[in-house]
């Protein structure tokens, strides 16, 4: 069997670096191995206040893992993925090994293209609901990666979840350590390769949505407590991605499902933004799980909807260069920063 070239593997990493991550921290390292890639956590980029257990870090790395395998398949390479392959190295998250050549499918290429223009959309959605067939596609996409998706389009459950998110949001905004950590990832340099660009802060651009479920107000990092609009002008569909287990394996699985969900939504013209506050506050996360009444564990929440047609597309958030996250087989994976 032919093997992927170095260029094939580097292209997969170039796609993987576009995966979503909390505050655009991009907490991953990649290593080129014989016939594949190894994925490592970069815990120097972990958010110690918002993500003390590394759950969001694993979600982000799971999304990057799904991006990489999708890119390989679109290049004609089938692969096996082994998650958490080494018990003695908690930073070694996954091994991707190419197993066969396959005929690239147009659907895979379509999703790879979506990687390059997907972005978190924090502006106000219009009042169009998700059609039933689109909702079914999103559910199937998430389940294809071993995760589960709960869509909430309105009604008492949506109101209950909105209250949980609002309480978690208020608790975080009142925490000076949380605000300081968020401020540390706001970037005033438009060419910065990580963090949240100033231009993406909705309140500063006049686009903070008046929504039934509060979005994260990024300006809280510099402005302290801010008033939240109480008259909602949009009622988005809420998407909750869950996993069967609440451990690193489950977190990686949920990240893979979230990634596939986001790319499928992008292809279908559905915009999305994260609503992770309720998942970062333990009591709120337990309340969310109780409200949903599901067997699994909620790992990610998204706000889904459609932008008004007249709004222009957003400038994409920058990413770190491949050379900054990739080492080769003859190299050692860099030691974690202390």
pLDDT in tens, 213-246: 767 766 654 443 333 344 556 788 999 999 999 9
Residue with the larger pLDDT of the pair 20 and 203: 20
Residue 129 pLDDT exceeds 50: yes
Residues 87 and 152 in one domain: no
328 within a domain of the structure (yes/no): no
The residue that leads in pLDDT, 329 or 46, is 46
Specify the pLDDT at position 207. Answer: 56
Band the pLDDT of 328: cuts 50, 70, 90.
low
Where residue 267 sits, what CATH number does that domain have? 3.40.109.10
Q: Model confidence at 330, in pLDDT bands (50, 70, 90)?
A: low
Among candidate residues 118, 150, 185, the one where a domain is terminated: 118
For residue 320, being part of any structural domain is answered with no
Domain-embedded: residue 329: no
pLDDT reported for residue 138: 98
Tell me if 242 is assigned to some domain: yes
Sequence length of the chain is 338
The residue among 53, 87, 118 that closes a domain is 118
Residue 125 falls inside a structural domain: no
Whether 79 and 219 share a structural domain: no
Statement to judge: residues 208 and 102 lie in one domain: no
Mean pLDDT of 50-79: 97
For residue 229 the two structure tokens come to: 């609009």
- The pTM for the full model equals 0.91
Residue 326 falls within a domain, yes or no? Answer: no
Q: Would you state the pLDDT for residue 230?
A: 42
User: Which residue stretches of the chain are H helix?
Assistant: 6-16, 55-74, 106-117, 132-143, 155-173, 176-184, 202-205, 220-223, 248-267, 277-280, 282-292, 322-325
> Is 317 domain-assigned?
no
Q: Strands 28-33 and 326-327: what pairing?
A: parallel
Query: In this structure, are 15 and 150 located in the same domain?
Result: no
| Residues paired with 274 in a beta bridge | 302
Q: What is the tens place of the pLDDT at every residue in 182-202?
A: 999 999 998 899 999 887 776
Average pLDDT (137-142) is 98
Of the pLDDT bands very low, low, confident and very high (cuts 50, 70, 90), residue 252 is very high
| Whole-number pLDDT of residue 34 | 79
Residue 204 has pLDDT above 60, yes or no: no
Mark whether 111 and 148 lie in a shared domain: no
Same-domain pairing of 55 and 161? no
Q: What pLDDT was estimated at residue 226?
A: 34
Domain of 187?
132-305
Kindly report the CA angle at 24 between 166 and 70, in degrees rounded to 5? Answer: 110
Counted domains in the chain:
2
Q: Determine the pLDDT at residue 299.
A: 98
Residues 159 and 294 in one domain: yes
Same structural domain for residues 184 and 268? yes
263 located within any domain:
yes
pLDDT score recorded for residue 224? 35
- Give yes or no: residues 185 and 298 share one domain: yes
Residue 303: exposure state from Cβ atoms within 10 A (0-12, 13-18, ≥19):
buried
pLDDT at 107: 93
Same-domain status, 52 and 82:
yes
Q: Is residue 291 pLDDT above 60, yes or no?
A: yes
Greatest mean pLDDT among 54-63, 162-171, 302-311? 54-63
Name the most confidently modeled range: 122-131, 228-237, 270-279.
270-279
Q: What is the mean pLDDT of the chain?
A: 89
Residues 281, 170, single domain; the answer is yes
- Are 194 and 77 contained in the same domain? no
In percent, the amount of the chain with pLDDT more than 90 equals 74
């Amino acid at each position: 069997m032919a093997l992927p070239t170095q260029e094939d593997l580097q292209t997969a990493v170039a796609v993987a670096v576009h995966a979503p991550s909390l505050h655009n921290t991009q907490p991953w390292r990649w290593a080129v191995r014989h016939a594949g890639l190894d994925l490592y956590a970069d815990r120097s980029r972990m958010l110690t206040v918002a993500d003390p257990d590394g759950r969001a870090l694993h979600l982000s790395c799971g999304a990057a893992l799904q991006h990489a395998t999708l890119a390989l398949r679109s290049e004609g390479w089938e692969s096996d993925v082994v998650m958490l392959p080494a018990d003695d190295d908690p930073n070694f998250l996954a091994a991707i090994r190419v197993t066969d050549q396959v005929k690239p499918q147009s659907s895979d290429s379509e999703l790879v293209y979506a990687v390059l223009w997907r972005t978190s959309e924090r502006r106000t959605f219009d009042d169009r609901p998700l059609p039933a067939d689109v909702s079914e596609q999103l559910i199937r996409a998430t389940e294809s990666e071993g995760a589960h998706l709960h869509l909430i389009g309105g009604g008492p459950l949506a109101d209950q979840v909105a209250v949980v998110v609002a309480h978690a949001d208020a608790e975080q905004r009142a925490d000076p350590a949380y605000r300081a950590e968020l401020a540390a990832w706001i970037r005033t340099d438009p060419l910065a390769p990580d963090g949240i660009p100033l231009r993406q802060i909705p309140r500063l651009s006049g686009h903070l949505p008046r929504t039934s479920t509060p979005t994260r107000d990024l300006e809280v990092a510099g402005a302290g407590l801010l008033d939240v609009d109480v008259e909602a002008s949009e009622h988005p569909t809420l998407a909750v991605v869950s996993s069967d287990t609440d451990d690193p394996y489950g977190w990686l699985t949920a990240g893979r499902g979230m990634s596939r969900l986001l790319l499928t939504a992008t292809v279908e013209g559905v915009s999305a933004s994260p609503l992770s506050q309720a998942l970062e506050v333990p009591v709120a996360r337990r309340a969310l799980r109780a409200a949903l009444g599901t067997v699994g564990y909620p790992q990610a929440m998204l706000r889904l909807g459609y932008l008004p047609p007249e709004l222009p597309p957003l400038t994409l958030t920058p990413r770190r260069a491949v050379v900054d996250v990739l080492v080769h087989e003859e190299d050692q994976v860099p030691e974690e920063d202390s």
